[in-house]
């Protein structure tokens, strides 16, 4: 079925807000086996929004709109959609009651009349309770066409879509669509595509779609079948072949798992504690790890040692090492990792030192040169990396490579020796 995405909000047109909903909804629709042929962004203008909706209904089976469901005067989405479909607006008692409960919890006595307009819905609409906001989602059906209305804030849109809209969309599909994500680290996008070009050339069902991320490549394997079990059977040999080709470069086949989640899980599994030391990344590595709930079980401390003085004082890096080899060197990275363990008694350590640019590079040590070290089981492994891109890109790639290095060291020490 053909789906069209329409994003409502003048702030989107002006670039005041990044349209992350476009990326999210496009990916989720593809995951559900729905074809997205068009996307539009329209401002808070009734006439232009109505024209966009009419155009969408003429060429697509399902329209998904986000934004414009709130209580203010420029929130016009549901009213405009109702007019296009010729549906009157009526009050939904259930939504009205939820609004009353919401304002009572806030102890808000003087509720403005505009707030109650969120309880007005197009007649016959399927109302989707919004557990994270006041504006409900809506599904409108008429003459074989469907319009789905979602709130604009991602914190409201995402759970509403996954819990209520996605199952509805899947129920309209004649076939079951299932997919799995094979996530790869340590292999560039062009090399990954070269390694699977024969599989892509001959693919039909399942299909393989590559997605490049910073320092990673994700391969989505998708199958269509009459049942979920059949789809899984179709995907199994494809995933098995990918595992054979990429080996330990694959860090997960679970959609929800991030690299940092996998690393934290491995630390917990083998009862390892970790300390980090960062120079050019300035705390980005620690921040990525600390994003994971429960990381306090394994993460001891993080040092930001940007200056040579900090490297000496906090990590015990030898002054002669810095003088002879420089802050950006294999030797300094080695001592930074050892210093982490000495200072905190951690069982593992990661250290990063490099030149993120745009200045500071030389012929011998160009911008993008980064040394990453990992201490584990009384051994230190140091990797020299040469990244490309701007300052932020280099720092992000260094963080990904550091987490992957720790992951591989844990595999080498604990899993390959079984």
For residues 177 and 33, the answer to whether their CB atoms sit within 8 Å is yes
297 and 223 in a single domain? The answer is: no
Point out the residues of the chain with pLDDT beneath 50: none
Residue 206: asked if its preceding bond is cis (omega within 30°), the reply is yes
pLDDT in tens, 203-214: 889 999 898 999
Last residue of a domain, one of 197, 228, 252: 252
Last residue of a domain, one of 212, 234, 252: 252
User: pLDDT at position 229, please?
Assistant: 92
DSSP element (H, E) containing 36: strand 35-42
pLDDT in tens, 249-285: 999 999 899 999 999 999 999 999 999 999 999 999 9
Last residue of a domain, one of 252, 287, 310: 252
User: pLDDT at position 178, please?
Assistant: 84
Expressed as residue numbers, the domain containing 192 is 176-252
For residues 363 and 374, the answer to whether their CB atoms sit within 8 Å is no
User: Which domain CATH number covers 365?
Assistant: 3.90.950.20
**At what angle are helices 77-85 and 46-59 packed, to 10 degrees?**
50
Q: Which residues contact 215 (CB under 8 A, 6 or more apart)?
A: 185, 396, 397, 399, 400, 401, 404
211 and 116 in a single domain? The answer is: no
Q: Which two tokens stand for residue 277?
A: 């030391």
State the sign of the Cα–Cα–Cα–Cα dihedral 123, 126, 131, 133: negative
User: Which domain CATH number covers 207?
Assistant: 3.30.70.2860
Q: Which residues contact 410 (CB under 8 A, 6 or more apart)?
A: 266, 267, 270, 272, 348, 376
137 and 242 in a single domain? The answer is: no
User: pLDDT at position 67, please?
Assistant: 96
User: Which domain CATH number covers 24?
Assistant: 3.40.980.10
Q: In what order do the strands lie in the sheet with 62-66?
A: 35-42, 2-8, 62-66, 145-150, 137-142, 126-128
Q: Rounded to whole angstroms, what are the CA distances from 249 to 186, 195, 211, 383, 393?
A: 6, 13, 15, 16, 21
Q: pTM surpassing 0.85?
A: no
Q: Which two tokens stand for residue 282?
A: 């300035």
205 and 151 in a single domain? The answer is: no
Taking only Cα atoms into account, the Rg of the chain, rounded to an integer number of angstroms, comes to: 26
410 and 286 in a single domain? The answer is: yes
90 and 218 in a single domain? The answer is: no
Q: Which two tokens stand for residue 341?
A: 């363990």
115 and 209 in a single domain? The answer is: no
3-class SS of residue 361 = coil
For residues 67 and 9, the answer to whether their CB atoms sit within 8 Å is yes
231 and 245 in a single domain? The answer is: yes
127 and 161 in a single domain? The answer is: yes
State how beta strands 348-354 and 369-376 pair: antiparallel
For residues 24 and 158, the answer to whether their CB atoms sit within 8 Å is yes
Number of domains comprising the chain: 3
What sections of 209-298 are H helices per DSSP? Answer: 228-246, 259-269, 284-290
User: pLDDT at position 38, please?
Assistant: 97
145 and 123 in a single domain? The answer is: yes
Q: In what order do the strands lie in the sheet with 207-213?
A: 207-213, 216-225, 176-185, 250-252
155 and 193 in a single domain? The answer is: no
329 and 398 in a single domain? The answer is: yes
C-alpha span between 328 and 149 (Å, rounded): 53
Number of H helices, E strands in the chain: 17, 17
């Amino acid at each position: 079925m053909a789906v069209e995405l329409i994003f409502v909000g003048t702030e989107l047109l002006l670039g005041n807000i990044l349209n992350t909903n476009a990326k999210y909804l496009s990916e989720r629709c593809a995951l559900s086996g729905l074809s997205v042929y068009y996307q539009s962004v329209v401002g808070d203008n009734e006439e232009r929004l109505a024209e966009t909706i009419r155009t969408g209904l003429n060429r697509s089976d399902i329209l998904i709109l986000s934004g414009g469901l709130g209580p203010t005067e420029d929130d016009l989405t549901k009213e405009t959609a109702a007019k296009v479909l010729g549906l009157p607006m009526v009050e939904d008692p259930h939504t009205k009651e939820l609004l009353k409960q919401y304002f009572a919890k806030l102890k808000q006595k003087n509720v403005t009349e505009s707030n109650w307009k969120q309880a007005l819905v197009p007649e016959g609409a399927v109302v989707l309770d919004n557990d994270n906001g006041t504006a409900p989602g809506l599904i409108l059906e008429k003459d074989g066409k469907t319009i789905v209305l979602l709130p604009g804030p991602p914190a409201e849109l995402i759970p509403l879509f996954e819990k209520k809209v996605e199952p509805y969309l899947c129920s309209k599909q004649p076939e079951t669509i299932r997919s799995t994500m094979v996530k790869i680290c340590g292999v560039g996008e062009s090399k990954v595509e070269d390694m699977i070009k024969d599989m892509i050339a001959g693919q039909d069902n399942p299909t393989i779609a590559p997605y490049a991320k910073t320092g990673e490549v994700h391969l989505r394997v998708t199958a269509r079948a009459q049942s979920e079990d059949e789809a899984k059977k179709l995907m199994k040999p494809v995933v098995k072949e990918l595992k054979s080709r990429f080996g330990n470069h694959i860090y997960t086949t679970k959609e929800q798992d991030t690299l940092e989640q996998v690393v934290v899980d491995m630390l917990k599994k083998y009862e390892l504690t970790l300390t980090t030391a960062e120079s050019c990344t300035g705390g980005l590595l620690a921040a990525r790890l600390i994003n994971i709930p429960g990381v306090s079980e394994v993460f001891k401390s993080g040092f930001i040692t940007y200056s040579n003085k900090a490297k000496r004082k906090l990590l015990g890096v030898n002054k002669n090492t810095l003088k002879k080899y420089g802050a950006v060197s294999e030797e300094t990275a080695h001592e930074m990792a050892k210093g982490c363990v000495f200072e905190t008694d951690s069982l593992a350590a990661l250290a990063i030192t490099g030149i993120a640019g745009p200045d500071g590079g030389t012929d011998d040590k160009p911008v993008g040169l980064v040394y990453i070290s990992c201490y584990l089981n009384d051994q230190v492994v140091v990797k020299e990396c040469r990244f490309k891109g701007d300052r932020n890109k280099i720092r992000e790639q260094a963080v990904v490579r550091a987490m992957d290095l720790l992951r591989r060291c844990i595999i080498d020490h604990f899993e390959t020796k079984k």
